[in-house]
């Protein structure tokens, strides 16, 4: 059974793929495999972020059903 990887794990694997590709030490076949794996990790990250975005919107939903959008301060 495959283990589900969380956002942080997917992001780390994506960063590793980028480093490998940027190193220039891969054959064309190896680079294609690493790139393909990186695309899958990027999609996994995108899905995770979308899921969290939906959860945040639910938390911000007002009693009347409207969304109260507020600036997100990261500092």
DSSP assignment of 30-52: HHHHHHHHHHHHHHHHHHHHHHH
Contact criterion met (CB below 8 Å) for 57 and 67: yes
For 19-40, what is each residue's pLDDT tens digit?
A: 999 999 999 999 999 999 999 9
Q: How confident is the model at residue 66 (pLDDT cuts 50, 70, 90)?
A: confident
Q: Which residues contact 7 (CB under 8 A, 6 or more apart)?
A: 44, 45, 48, 49
Residue 2 is predicted with a pLDDT of: 44
Which tokens is 3 given? 């283990």
Q: pLDDT at position 61, please?
A: 73
- Cα angle 51, 53, 43 (rounded to 5 degrees) comes to 50
């Amino acid at each position: 059974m495959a283990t589900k990887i969380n956002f942080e794990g997917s992001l780390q694997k994506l960063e590793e793929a980028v480093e490998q590709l940027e190193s220039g030490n891969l054959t064309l076949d190896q680079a294609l495999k690493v790139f393909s794996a990186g695309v899958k990790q990027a999609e996994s990250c995108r899905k995770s972020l979308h899921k969290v975005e939906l959860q945040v919107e639910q938390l911000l939903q007002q009693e009347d059903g409207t969304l109260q959008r507020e600036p997100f301060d990261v500092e």
